[in-house]
């Protein structure tokens, strides 16, 4: 046999060399991000992971600094109201993440002594923490050995090993097995570094469109490239946003966010012309706990107009 061909998915050969090539590239090319610095706390890592869910790094950076400047610990955030969290979240998008992160802070304070739990299972029980975020926190904050399958890692593995341009719609068992088989040994933080490096490779080099193969440290191993980079079916597109209920919700929430206190329905009416859609969106916000209708009919963010829970108190039943 002459030139090495791409290895099959299971038991890929040269894993050790692959790790070395990717991590060497990472050591030189990685962005200097605050949540990656050695001193970053688990809380800081958790905050970063929430903010990075479907939100680009450049937009997260200032929000991350401001958030941790205000609430450096889970206990600090737990002492605030959910409405405070939504306001501080600002226009990062997906504001329910702020509600869920606040709920995490309350749980961490009440059930985990104020420390972010270090187990996959305990993390997974918290709102807004799915398979990816739990694996990311245990890996990056605690140095554990878990496969971290985000959209970047999935795309890199789909191309490098699978020979396809894009991964499937959801994580398959085979994909997870592959990612785990490629994980370096448990010694030190090798597995965490490997995962961070794969993510960075996907974010900077192996991008969805126009991948920079000329700068890829493992282009010589890439199954997709070896196959001539055949185009795969494009990922599914979401519903149009302009004029959608989502946009309407966003507009209403922007009004509540910028107001210091409760808002009259008329103020919301000014933010969206269509009454039926407006009422539908407001109903959804109320249903989701993103907004509250007071007895006097005014609308506010959750926790507005009430004293914040005492420190260490939330989660404890009455009086």
Partner DNA sequence: TAGCCGTGGAA
Partner DNA sequence: TTTCCAAGGCT
Binding site for DNA (CB under 7 A): 33, 35-36, 48-49, 52-57, 59, 91-96, 100, 127-134, 136, 150-152, 169-170, 199-200, 202-203, 207-209, 234-239, 241, 244-247, 249-251, 253-254, 284, 290
> How near is the Cβ of 16 to DNA at its closest, in Å?
25
User: What per-residue string of b and e applies to 120-147 under the rule 16 or more CB within 10 Å gives b?
Assistant: bebbeebebbebbbbbbbbbbbbebbbb
> How near is the Cβ of 244 to DNA at its closest, in Å?
6
**Nearer of residues 6 and 117 to DNA, judged by Cβ:** 117
**Nearer of residues 132 and 224 to DNA, judged by Cβ:** 132
> How near is the Cβ of 55 to DNA at its closest, in Å?
4
> How near is the Cβ of 24 to DNA at its closest, in Å?
19
**Nearer of residues 15 and 251 to DNA, judged by Cβ:** 251
Active site residue 21: no
User: What per-residue string of b and e applies to 293-308 under the rule 16 or more CB within 10 Å gives b?
Assistant: eeeeebbbbbbbeeee
> How near is the Cβ of 64 to DNA at its closest, in Å?
10
Adjacent-strand bridge partners of 300 = 292
Which member of 19, 49, 175, 200 is catalytic? 49
**Nearer of residues 17 and 177 to DNA, judged by Cβ:** 177
**Nearer of residues 25 and 132 to DNA, judged by Cβ:** 132
Distance CA 16, CA 182 (A): 9
> How near is the Cβ of 5 to DNA at its closest, in Å?
29
What DSSP letter does each residue of the chain carry, written as one string? --SPPPPPSTT-TTHHHHHHHHHHHHHHH----GGGSTT--HHHHHHHHHHHTTS-HHHHHHHHHHHHHH--SHHHHHTS-HHHHHHHHTTSS-THHHHHHHHHHHHHHHHSTTS---SHHHHHTSTT--HHHHHHHHHHTT--------HHHHHHHHHHTT--SS--SS--HHHHHHHHHTPPPSSTTHHHHHHHHHHHHHHHTS-SSS--GGG-TTGGG-HHHHTT-PPPPPPPP----TTSHHHHHHHHHHHHHHSSS-B-HHHHHTT-S-HHHHHHHHHHHHHTTSSEE-TTS-EE-TTTTSPPPPTT-TTS---
**Nearer of residues 107 and 178 to DNA, judged by Cβ:** 107
Instruction: Give the residue numbers annotated as catalytic, written as ranges.
Output: 49
């Amino acid at each position: 046999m002459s030139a090495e061909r791409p290895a099959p998915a299971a038991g890929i050969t040269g894993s050790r060399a692959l790790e070395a090539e990717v991590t060497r590239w990472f050591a030189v090319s990685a962005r200097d991000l605050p949540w990656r610095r050695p001193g970053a706390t688990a809380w800081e890592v958790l905050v970063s992971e929430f903010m990075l869910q479907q939100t680009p790094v450049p937009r997260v950076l200032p929000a991350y600094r401001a958030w941790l400047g205000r609430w450096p610990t889970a206990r600090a955030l737990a002492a605030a109201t959910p409405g405070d969290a939504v306001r501080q979240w600002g226009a990062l998008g997906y504001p329910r993440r702020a509600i869920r992160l606040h709920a995490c802070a309350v749980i961490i304070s009440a059930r985990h002594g104020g420390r972010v739990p270090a187990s996959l299972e305990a993390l997974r029980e918290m709102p807004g923490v799915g398979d990816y975020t739990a694996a990311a926190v245990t890996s990056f904050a605690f140095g554990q050995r878990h496969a971290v399958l985000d959209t970047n890692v999935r795309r890199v593995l789909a191309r490098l090993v699978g020979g396809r341009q894009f991964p499937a719609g959801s994580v398959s068992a085979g994909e997870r097995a592959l990612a785990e088989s490629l994980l370096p040994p448990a010694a030190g933080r090798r597995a965490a570094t490997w995962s961070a490096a794969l993510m960075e490779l996907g974010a900077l080099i192996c991008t969805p469109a126009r991948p920079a193969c000329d700068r890829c440290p493992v282009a010589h191993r890439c199954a997709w490239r070896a196959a001539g980079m055949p185009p795969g079916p494009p990922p599914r597109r979401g519903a149009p946003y302009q004029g959608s209920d989502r946009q309407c919700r966003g507009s209403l929430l922007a009004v509540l966010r910028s107001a210091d206190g409760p808002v009259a329905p008329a103020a919301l009416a000014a933010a969206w012309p269509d009454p039926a859609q407006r009422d539908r969106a407001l109903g959804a916000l109320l249903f989701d706990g993103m907004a509250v209708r007071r007895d006097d009919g005014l609308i506010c963010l959750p926790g507005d107009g009430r004293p914040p829970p005492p420190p260490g108190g939330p989660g404890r039943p009455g009086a």
